[in-house]
Amino acid sequence: MGDPLNPRETFTTEEGVLANMWALEALVELLERKGLCTKQEVHDLISELRTRHGELNGKVIVPELPANTKEEQYLIDHMLTVIEAVGLQPAESKELLRRVSLIIDHRERTKQRPS
């Protein structure tokens, strides 16, 4: 890997891609920790931008969603069933889930405060 103290030192494409990937991952983690966005929101925006810019001659590239555990998938399936049963529209569902996320964050912060 290139010497970080020597800006003229060369590095491989793989090293550059990995360094960029880790920097972006760190930024997303920081934004999520501060409650400014979620990884899912970043994923959705990346998908939107790739579609909007028509990369690779009009092909739409959508990164795979991370695999869910059996427990996570069970909860997701049940939440989607409830959302469909009450007839929420996609925008309403997203807003509801955003508010649930805020409540979870609030509860977590409340638990961390010393009594």
Distance between CA atoms of residues 88 and 82, nearest Å: 9
Tell me the C-alpha distance between 1 and 10, whole Å: 8
Q: Position of tokens 């909860």?
A: 75
pTM of the predicted model, to two decimals? 0.42
Which range marks the domain in which residue 56 is found? Answer: 39-66
Per the CB < 8 A criterion, the answer to whether 76 and 68 are in contact is yes
Average pLDDT on 42-55 reads 76
Residue 83: the pLDDT is: 93
Same domain, 79 and 97: yes
Residue 85 CB neighbour total at 10 angstroms:
8
Report the number of distinct structural domains present in the chain: 3
pLDDT category at 88 given cuts 50, 70, 90 is very high
pLDDT at 74: 94
Angle between helices 13-33 and 39-53 (to 10 degrees): 130
Q: Are residues 77 and 101 in the same domain?
A: yes
Q: How confident is the model over 17-36, as a mean pLDDT?
A: 88
Same domain for 72 and 115, yes or no, is yes
Mean pLDDT of the chain: 82
The whole-number pLDDT of residue 70 equals: 92
